[in-house]
Structure 1
Amino acid sequence: MDLIVGASSNAVKSLVGKLGSLLAQEYTLIQGVRDDIQYINDELASMQAFLNRTKRAGSHDEQRQDWMKQVREVSYDIEDCVDDVNHRLGHEPRGNGKLMYIRKKWYFLTTMYVRRCIAAEIGNLKVRAQQVSDRRTRYGVDNLRGSSSEPVVADAPTDRVAPPPELIGTKQPVGVEDAMNELGGWFKAEQRTTQQSTEKRFLAIFGFGGLGKTTLAMELYRRFGDDFDCRASVQASQKFNLLMILRSLVKQFHEQQAGASLNDPLEGIEEWGEKDLRKKLVHQLKDKRYLVLIDDIWSVSAWENINDSLPERVKCGSVVVTTRFKSVAVACCRRNGRLYDHKPLLEENSYKLFRQIVSSAPDNASKASLYGQILSGTPDNPTKAPSGDHIVTSASDSPTEAASHGIIISGAVGNNPTKAVAHGQIMSGTSDNPIGDAQALLKKCGGLPLAIIVVAGLVASKLRSGTSSKPIDNYLAEVDKALSGGLETHLSTEGVTKVLDQCYNDLPADLKTCLLYLSMFPKGSFVSRKRLIRRWIGEGFIIQKHGKTIEEVAEDYFNELISRNLIRAVDNSSNGKVKTYQIHDMVLEYIVSKSSDENFITVVGGHWQTPFPSYKVRRLSIHRSAREEKETVERMKLSHVRSLTAFDSFKALHSCLLKFQILQVLDLESCRDLSSHQLQKICKMHQLKYLSLRRTDIEEIPAEIGKLEYLEVFDIRETEVSELPQSVGGLKRMTHLLAGNKSKRKALIMTEEITKMTALKTLSGMGICGTTTAGMVRFTRKTTATGLFKSASRGSCKQVLQALEKLTNLKKLSLYILGKLEEEDEILLLSAIEHLSSCSLKFLAVDDGFTGFLEESLSSSKAPPEHLHTLELCGNLFEVPKWIVSMHGLEKLTLSLTSLRTDTLMLLSELPELFSLTFSLDAAKSKNGSALEILHKNTMNSGGEIFVPDGGFGKLKLLRLLAPFLPPLSFVEGAMPTLQRLELRFRTAYGVHGLENLASLRQIFLAVSSKAPKAAEEKKRLANKIEKNPPTVIVDEYNESSMEVYQ
């Protein structure tokens, strides 16, 4: 129940500051109101001190919980009132002189009625605050002594060292090999019967939630999917939506058809009906052997609807289904099917999984021998791990992907070597009976992988944090006692809830708030880490601590949720950081229920039914916008909503948009049906801090955007917006402006008004005009009726480049497009880059569009950007700048393929921290005559082949070559000794040799032309020749339209 503590404490802390600002306004308040506000402010300050004490208490009785609810609600209501005061009264006149005296008197007269209304509201809130305060004493809520046996919850971690960059790799889940071998025969039988039968075949996997059905099905999907002509996977869920499922299938099959994205763009698919989607599926799967995975079907009727949509009498179709219900599984297999009852893990595998998580990789090589002892349980042989265990035992290894749940485990011990002994107690039995304690604890998990994973994450977190002074066997016994009546006798929802309760209650209050916020997102969603963190900050959940920035604290919170296995990393960016995450269905169900109980988040149209809110709605998430959801939203009291998220469609909000007057976070990413008229209404939401219109169909931003003075994050990526109105210069609090389209090479025009946002930390997707602008929306766009957009002139370009230097807080600058600049303008741009790099800039991306800026100006810089962590240079680049060797902190580097030469690789091998190296060239530029000439010249100068030298590249783990065609490339013996993943995306390649010389290679990703299947098979054959630890090979189809250079 500490969600209330965290939410209440943050709400009160935010409000106390606002009340202080209000008290400072001399002419705003009428007589008596100032005293009321001062009283409220003092009461809330006392409440905050009390709440800070409750954060450190282990548990709370019902009286204390109810009182904290009241504190939270009255705090929110007071904050609503204060924000309304600032909006309705505006800024009071300040200054001296006769004219200012007249203005002040006029302001006083014109706002008299409003101030009287506000005075009445504040008087009522004062009474409520006093009642809440009195109630605390009246019912003994002040007593915080509690039981001495109650656990003490620590504060959220803020002193952790950031985890090192890693790559996500798929490893064999624990305890599913027997099932894989058994069900693999079903797929092999399918191959044998392909020529004799055209009937669909079915495999239904059923079992209790959290057993790992989805992971088993996905492992089958990955292992045997390459044997089919095409494949797709969808999630059904409890609230079944046939159109969404059919639409997803059509889109996935569409992406696997050669040239389909160019010749058949699926325009208007969002409006297609069931008949049209079924017809399209029949056409796509004609004469194809296809594989479809349908996850989590809840009813026989849902299954029948999906099955009837898949074509009959095609070449051969195979359908894999997962469900919690045997009756559904039986219905799936009535004809030509196989039923599989997925069982819990055996005791041996449960202990193996638990050990694998708790003893995950150390964070530095100096501990390797100690951890070897821990893992093997044999102090005399520290480097030998038990056979069959896929356990990471060295600092250079990627995180362990543990369990049939697929959770990524990283840094379970972190930076606390003193706790290694405790880990040794678990694994080698040096305590009184730690193995027995661990096995007794695991029995309470009932062989359920999800339960084992979260409990092991809890134990690992305690050991890592060093907050527990008790012996490890005592702690294991304590957790075991808390889980009494768990899952050892039979699997049940109540048993899983007990396990999750124990792990949840151990979280610090702030982390509870951040975790429950994830219930905003639909089941099965892959959510961006950056999106989540920016939203946490916009909601006010994160505050600066211990000298760290607010973003760094948020990163710490996110990493803690990952390390505790409450969420899992799905994909990593090329810089090694988590890019997207996912939350397990049962964990999500748990936090959705908890959020609903506490009126923290209200979900409409979600997977699970939640009661209609009895309190004021504070945070609203709309997962579907059908008639039922629209009617539900219209019945709600929306005037107090501070956070609104809509998925898929905006229809449910059309009629009630003006009711959201105090909204602070508005996320409409990928929403359809958003019109310019509605956008104008959004610009009246004066309290907005976070606004995402990403992937919507908007084309123009209204001038009213300048009224959003509190706006900090504005995301218009992958829209048709190419210019911003002049009014944006007034957005002084803007910290992240995200624009442009990476894959389509579209950019937002850089204007002088944008450079007035001096608080900017991220400026992404910009384009700078010149005398000519190739491949970009014309800068001389026709002036609109409002006269807001002006054509760029030589003078304005110069002014923009001069003003760019003012953005000294910038940490990330991405210039997607450069026009042809005059020599003087190139000097100005170079000067701005040099100046910003000497301030805060850590990320720089420049694509000069083959205009010559990189080669002629940036390469000759006298003050190069030596302190960058990420550098991306794309365009006309024949030779990399010599100063690049001085960038000792560079971790991620992207270069134009035109710079790929043997001497270039020798130069780059000296970069000590380089983690990711990419050479790229998009399809449009590959047709450029100069690009072809440069590539040919590079190859000839290297003796007809580009050689990757031996030595150097001490930390490089990812190498990517992305282009329509690749020159001949050869890895010599000893080349790139730490490389783990090799990505090759091409239409034509002239040979890649020496893969067997890459000692640490684990995965090869090939995206090749559909016209070159023999090349793909040859690469697979070559990879399989690597006898020692052969890498996994993934083959996909090369698609020029979807290839992204900046990733």
Structure 2
Amino acid sequence: MCGGVPLAITSVASILAGQGDMMIEKWGRILSSRGYELETDPTIGWMRHVLSFSYSNLCPELRTCLLYLSTFPEYCSIRKDDLIRQWIAEGLVTEKFGCDQYEIAEIYFNNLIKRSIINPVDIDDCGMVMSCRVHDLMVDLIISKAIEENFIAILDDQHTMRGSHEARRFTLHFNRDLENTEQNLVLTRSVHHQTRSISFLGPIQCMLVISEFKYLRLLQIEVYYSNIDSYDLTHMCEFFQLRYFRIRGILCKLPEKIGGLKYLETFDIDDNVKNIPSDVCKLSSMAHLTLPKHAKIPSGIDKLVALRTLKVSTSYDTSIEFYEGLGSLRKLRELELGATNYMSRDKVVSLAASLMKLGSCSLRSLILRSGDLSLEAGDRLNFWSPPPLHLRRLHVFEVVFSYVPDWIAKLDKLTSLVIRIREISKDGFGVLARLPCLLFLRLSVHRVKEEDATIVVCSRTFQYLKEFWFRYKVPCLVFEPLAMPRLQILNIQFDEECLYGRDDGVPCEPAGIEHLTNLMQISAHIHLAHHWMWQTPALPRRKVKHFSERHDEDGHGQVEEEAPVYKKAAEAMLTRATSKHPGIHYGNIQFIQM
């Protein structure tokens, strides 16, 4: 309906803004350059010209990065991390101005967003763009330019190849129409063996004979709607130029060793891959390593000195050398560890020691999932020194801290925090409240210090917090006026017993929710007592009558059912808590059996 005018305005504005001081003659040239299209076709032609002009105005490096977007399926969501890693693997981004490749790639990505060429789709807990999508009006232009410049060839279900057979990048996108497998295979046989980049999405039976491509720099495989259960990639050890490898959606067999892939930077495989090459930790160029949940981690993690991202899960047979080796990864930016079982004390001690070493480096994100790290790790990390000053994300829910560590107050870049505290005090909560960049907080508390009784969110604290999750046996939160002025999402988790009132004077309901002026969503997760599950005689199930939307056997009217009293009590409590808020008229309640 808008005819693309908003994008045209944005495109022209970004061009003019980037020109600096301009004489009136230069403005005139930009105006007159669209004259012919405006006369012949005031909608399609003019829009295409404006977008082409915007494309031509980009610097050469940014134009190439923009053309690379044509390798993704049309109108799909593109993960920023994957895009940046592929740009670098393809050699499209170089170091300059004292910034490394990743910093330059981030600048390019943000530049494309600022020009509205790509639009953000998902925002992560740190407030950063996690995925994007090419603007609808730009898709055709980017593909046509990429094909025109012999940048890419595309094979899809149209049973034609768009682009030259001599292109160095091939994208194969097929849907679930398995009847056309033979036609698709005929098309794939025409792909030139000098190809250096292959991106495949679709049924694996449509995949080309990958062993023939010895010069690949990038191989990405995402399988769906396939009637073949497994795929053999044991020959990938011969792709000596490979820099980026990612596979999803199919049981895949990899070679036992890939030590010859000395340029490999990204090795990203999902849980469908069972065997991990034994020498993957000997690849000195490895920058991003993601392994399946139940995979055995090969030895030698300390040799990956270029590693920036590590996502793995440990198990009972993970050696203590692995935890000790983490401390040697001085370039590590993102660490995500999952544990499938209890960690022994010596491994916890080694992990804590390595994390402390990384604190003085460039660690930006730390996530510890599952496993039982208990108080041992928390007691050691209470004294993290030097503190990890560069952290933006700290998710350590499995680590139980005795109190809010003092070093957290120094994390002035921290935007997302998930933490578990054994006992919280007014001063400890104040440390969290004063974090200047915090956007997301998930706080679980075992006890509130007796003399504090309630947790008061003071006025003008948590200035930038947008989402707050709070877990304690009692929802003893009190919000003062002007507290959490930007909060949009509030989730409160507590135990069922507090719904029936207490005799110790501790409030059983959150208060002051009406002061959260920007609140858009509130929810409660209520942990039910064990007796609701087993219906013990000593604690009978209490019920109240209510009407269900379900009809009776004759299809007439409503059926009167009995609901447990905790449900009515929870609804009443949430209604009272939100009744004074002008924008919240209901909340979502979930019951969790402990």
Compare the two structures and name the one with the higher helix fraction.
Answer: 1
Quick check: 611-620 or 550-559, which moved more?
611-620
For residue 468 of structure 1, the aligned residue among 1, 14, 20 is: 20
Quick check: 579-588 or 798-807, which moved more?
798-807
Cα distance, 1:899 vs structure 2: 6.8
Task: Find out whether 1:698 has 2:259 as its counterpart.
Answer: no
**Hey, what does 1:619 align to over in structure 2?**
169
Cα distance, 1:691 vs structure 2: 0.6
Residues 864-899 of structure 1: CA distance to partner in whole angstroms, max 9, x if unpaired? Answer: 434423222112525332322232332322213867
Q: Distance between the aligned counterparts of 1:827 and 1:722, measured in 2?
A: 29
Task: Find out whether 1:854 has 2:377 as its counterpart.
Answer: yes
Q: Distance between the aligned counterparts of 1:541 and 1:561, measured in 2?
A: 15
Q: TM-score, normalization: structure 2?
A: 0.79
Secondary structure of 1:849 counterpart:
strand
Q: Note closer, same or farther for the CA distance 1:733–1:594 as it changes in structure 2 (3 Å cut).
A: same
**Hey, what does 1:895 align to over in structure 2?**
419
Structure 2 unaligned regions, length at least 5? 500-508, 527-547, 549-562
Q: Distance between the aligned counterparts of 1:1034 and 1:571, measured in 2?
A: 26
Q: Note closer, same or farther for the CA distance 1:631–1:557 as it changes in structure 2 (3 Å cut).
A: same
Task: Find out whether 1:765 has 2:312 as its counterpart.
Answer: yes
For residue 736 of structure 1, the aligned residue among 275, 288, 297 is: 288
Quick check: 984-993 or 526-535, which moved more?
984-993
**Hey, what does 2:349 align to over in structure 1?**
827
Contact 1:848–1:876 (CA<8 Å) still a contact in 2? no
Q: Note closer, same or farther for the CA distance 1:911–1:987 as it changes in structure 2 (3 Å cut).
A: closer
Q: Note closer, same or farther for the CA distance 1:455–1:479 as it changes in structure 2 (3 Å cut).
A: farther
Residues 588-620 of structure 1: CA distance to partner in whole angstroms, max 9, x if unpaired? Answer: 0121122222221112226x8975544413111
**Hey, what does 2:77 align to over in structure 1?**
526
For residue 239 of structure 2, the aligned residue among 685, 698, 706 is: 685
Task: Find out whether 1:637 has 2:188 as its counterpart.
Answer: no
| Residues 839-878 of structure 1: pairs in structure 2 closer than 5 A | 839-847=361-369, 849-852=371-374, 853-878=376-401
Q: Note closer, same or farther for the CA distance 1:911–1:589 as it changes in structure 2 (3 Å cut).
A: same
Contact 2:289–2:311 (CA<8 Å) still a contact in 1? yes
Task: Find out whether 1:960 has 2:468 as its counterpart.
Answer: yes
Task: Find out whether 1:483 has 2:29 as its counterpart.
Answer: no
Residues 7-38 of structure 1: CA distance to partner in whole angstroms, max 9, x if unpaired? Answer: xxxxxxxxxxxxxxxxxxxxxxxxxxxxxxxx
Quick check: 843-852 or 575-584, which moved more?
843-852
Quick check: 535-544 or 684-693, which moved more?
684-693
Task: Find out whether 1:581 has 2:581 as its counterpart.
Answer: no
Residues 1013-1043 of structure 1: CA distance to partner in whole angstroms, max 9, x if unpaired? Answer: 996898699768544xx48x99889799xxx
**Hey, what does 2:86 align to over in structure 1?**
535
Q: Distance between the aligned counterparts of 2:51 and 2:146, measured in 1?
A: 14
Cα distance, 1:658 vs structure 2: 1.7
Secondary structure of 1:703 counterpart:
coil
Q: Note closer, same or farther for the CA distance 1:749–1:634 as it changes in structure 2 (3 Å cut).
A: closer
Q: Distance between the aligned counterparts of 1:596 and 1:1014, measured in 2?
A: 64
Residues 782-832 of structure 1: CA distance to partner in whole angstroms, max 9, x if unpaired? Answer: xxxxxxxxxx5xxxx332233332222212222222754444443332221
Contact 2:161–2:187 (CA<8 Å) still a contact in 1? no
Contact 2:250–2:272 (CA<8 Å) still a contact in 1? yes
**Hey, what does 1:753 align to over in structure 2?**
300
One-letter identity of the residue aligned with 1:643: S
Q: Note closer, same or farther for the CA distance 1:849–1:639 as it changes in structure 2 (3 Å cut).
A: same
For residue 101 of structure 2, the aligned residue among 537, 550, 572 is: 550
Q: What value does the CA root-mean-square deviation take over the aligned residues?
A: 3.7
Secondary structure of 1:580 counterpart:
strand
Q: Note closer, same or farther for the CA distance 1:480–1:1007 as it changes in structure 2 (3 Å cut).
A: farther
| Residues 405-444 of structure 1: pairs in structure 2 closer than 5 A | none
Contact 1:985–1:1006 (CA<8 Å) still a contact in 2? yes
Secondary structure of 2:367 counterpart:
strand
Q: Note closer, same or farther for the CA distance 1:605–1:677 as it changes in structure 2 (3 Å cut).
A: closer
Residues 465-515 of structure 1: CA distance to partner in whole angstroms, max 9, x if unpaired? Answer: 4x33215x6655433322224468866533332221121111111111111
Percent of matched pairs sharing the same residue:
26
Q: Note closer, same or farther for the CA distance 1:729–1:849 as it changes in structure 2 (3 Å cut).
A: closer
Contact 2:280–2:298 (CA<8 Å) still a contact in 1? no
One-letter identity of the residue aligned with 1:836: L
Secondary structure of 2:166 counterpart:
coil
For residue 708 of structure 1, the aligned residue among 246, 261, 277 is: 261
Q: Note closer, same or farther for the CA distance 1:897–1:587 as it changes in structure 2 (3 Å cut).
A: farther
Task: Find out whether 1:998 has 2:516 as its counterpart.
Answer: yes
**Hey, what does 1:776 align to over in structure 2?**
none
Residues 435-458 of structure 1: CA distance to partner in whole angstroms, max 9, x if unpaired? Answer: xxxxxxxxxxxxx2x333243233
Q: Note closer, same or farther for the CA distance 1:639–1:985 as it changes in structure 2 (3 Å cut).
A: farther
Secondary structure of 1:547 counterpart:
coil
Q: Note closer, same or farther for the CA distance 1:656–1:700 as it changes in structure 2 (3 Å cut).
A: closer
Q: Note closer, same or farther for the CA distance 1:665–1:699 as it changes in structure 2 (3 Å cut).
A: closer
Q: TM-score, normalization: structure 1?
A: 0.47
Task: Find out whether 1:884 has 2:376 as its counterpart.
Answer: no
Cα distance, 1:713 vs structure 2: 0.4
Structure 1 or 2, whichever has the larger Rg, is 1
Q: Note closer, same or farther for the CA distance 1:490–1:749 as it changes in structure 2 (3 Å cut).
A: same
| Residues 48-447 of structure 1: pairs in structure 2 closer than 5 A | 211=1, 344=2
Cα distance, 1:758 vs structure 2: 1.9
Structure 1 unaligned regions, length at least 5? 1-210, 212-343, 345-447, 741-745, 774-778, 780-791, 921-933, 1041-1047
One-letter identity of the residue aligned with 1:757: L
Task: Find out whether 1:591 has 2:100 as its counterpart.
Answer: no
Task: Find out whether 1:949 has 2:503 as its counterpart.
Answer: no
For residue 569 of structure 1, the aligned residue among 120, 123, 126 is: 120
Cα distance, 1:857 vs structure 2: 2.2
Quick check: 505-514 or 626-635, which moved more?
626-635
Cα distance, 1:907 vs structure 2: 2.0
Q: How many residues align?
A: 536
Contact 1:672–1:697 (CA<8 Å) still a contact in 2? no
Q: Distance between the aligned counterparts of 1:988 and 1:590, measured in 2?
A: 56
**Hey, what does 2:505 align to over in structure 1?**
none
Q: Distance between the aligned counterparts of 1:1017 and 1:534, measured in 2?
A: 51
Q: Note closer, same or farther for the CA distance 1:987–1:543 as it changes in structure 2 (3 Å cut).
A: same
Contact 2:330–2:362 (CA<8 Å) still a contact in 1? yes
Contact 1:905–1:949 (CA<8 Å) still a contact in 2? no
Contact 2:204–2:223 (CA<8 Å) still a contact in 1? no
**Hey, what does 1:667 align to over in structure 2?**
220
Q: Distance between the aligned counterparts of 2:185 and 2:118, measured in 1?
A: 33
Q: Distance between the aligned counterparts of 1:665 and 1:899, measured in 2?
A: 50
Contact 2:404–2:428 (CA<8 Å) still a contact in 1? yes
Q: Distance between the aligned counterparts of 1:988 and 1:974, measured in 2?
A: 27
One-letter identity of the residue aligned with 1:850: D
Task: Find out whether 1:805 has 2:352 as its counterpart.
Answer: no
One-letter identity of the residue aligned with 2:302: T
Q: Note closer, same or farther for the CA distance 1:950–1:699 as it changes in structure 2 (3 Å cut).
A: farther
For residue 982 of structure 1, the aligned residue among 489, 492, 495 is: 489
Considering Cα pairs closer than 8 Å and 6+ residues apart, tell me whether 1 or 2 has the greater RCO. 1
Contact 1:818–1:851 (CA<8 Å) still a contact in 2? no
Secondary structure of 1:707 counterpart:
coil
Secondary structure of 1:668 counterpart:
strand
Q: Distance between the aligned counterparts of 1:672 and 1:630, measured in 2?
A: 15
Q: Distance between the aligned counterparts of 1:941 and 1:738, measured in 2?
A: 47
Contact 2:279–2:298 (CA<8 Å) still a contact in 1? no
Cα distance, 1:543 vs structure 2: 0.3
Residues 204-263 of structure 1: CA distance to partner in whole angstroms, max 9, x if unpaired? Answer: xxxxxxx3xxxxxxxxxxxxxxxxxxxxxxxxxxxxxxxxxxxxxxxxxxxxxxxxxxxx
Q: Distance between the aligned counterparts of 1:531 and 1:855, measured in 2?
A: 33
Q: Distance between the aligned counterparts of 1:1017 and 1:523, measured in 2?
A: 48
Contact 1:948–1:969 (CA<8 Å) still a contact in 2? no
Contact 1:570–1:581 (CA<8 Å) still a contact in 2? yes
